[in-house]
Amino acid sequence: MNSKKKLTFKNFNIADWFSFYRIFAAPFLLLLIWLDAQLVFTWFLLISYLTDAIDGYLARRLKITSARGSQLDSIGDQITLIIGLIGLFYFEKEFIKTNITLILIAFIPYIFQMIIAFLKYGKATAFHTYLAKTSAVLQSAFILWSLFFNPEYSLFYIMIIIGILETIEEVSLIFMYDNWVSDVKSIFWAFKDKRRNLK
């Protein structure tokens, strides 16, 4: 008899399902972009962003945090960010054209970080640092504000700066950890993390 626990729907907890919502909502959000339904798209994008806050809160509150949950959360976050950016590129074309250089300066290092993470770990990182959480909040706030109203340049510049700093921290952590780990509060916290020395 196989003693290994099979991965079935029953094994996932409520926090995991909020992460799954963001993943499953992606095709629907893309359909709304294709239908040019900006307001409906923005409201559903807001719901996806809210589930990100909810799943993290539930995982900590119910003490159901896990490496699997962290990875699911990261996948949901990355997919939602990409969908949000696609929506921003589609609905705010003039703003994107005007600021494409600055956007690429921030986005290209992020792609580089994703590539080295997959090369080293075979999957995306899930460090969930304070800087990463701050960057995610700023990104979602800017995208939603732009789609509900108009792009706010002060928020845009802050988002770009924090995003670049967060990417630099992520890349540094990838080189610091030989093995994939989740929930690293910051690069300074990592220096004291015993998991960094595990082979």
> What's residue 70's pLDDT?
72
Q: What is the pTM of this model?
A: 0.84
Q: What confidence score (pLDDT) does residue 78 get?
A: 87
Compute CA 152 distance to the chain's CA centroid, rounded to the nearest angstrom.
Answer: 21
Three-point CA angle 128, 129, 130, nearest 5°: 120
Return d(Cα 68, Cα 20) in angstroms, integer: 12
Please indicate, yes or no, if residue 74 is contained in any of the structural domains. yes
Q: Is residue 20 part of a domain?
A: yes
pLDDT, residue 53, reads: 78
Amino acid (1-letter code) at residue 49:
Y
Quick check: is 61 in a domain?
yes
- CATH number for position 161: 1.20.120
Distances (CA, A) of 160 to 42, 64, 80, 106, 165: 21, 33, 18, 6, 9
Cα 130 from chain centroid (whole Å): 13
Q: Is residue 3 part of a domain?
A: no
d(CA 86, CA 72) in angstroms, rounded, equals 21
Report yes or no on 1 lying in a domain: no
For residue 125, being part of any structural domain is answered with yes
Establish if 134 belongs to a structural domain: yes
Q: Mean pLDDT, 10 residues at a time, over the chain (199 residues)?
A: 44 74 93 97 95 72 66 84 94 95 92 94 90 93 96 96 96 93 91 80
Which parts of the chain are beta strand (E)? none
Give the C-alpha separation, 164 to 131, whole Å: 10
For the chain, what is the domain count? Answer: 1
pLDDT of 169: 96
CA distance 120 to 106: 22
What is the per-residue pLDDT for 75? 85
Query: How many contiguous H segments (helices) and E segments (strands) does the chain have?
Result: 8, 0
Give the residue numbers spanning the domain of 109: 11-197
Inside any domain, residue 2: no
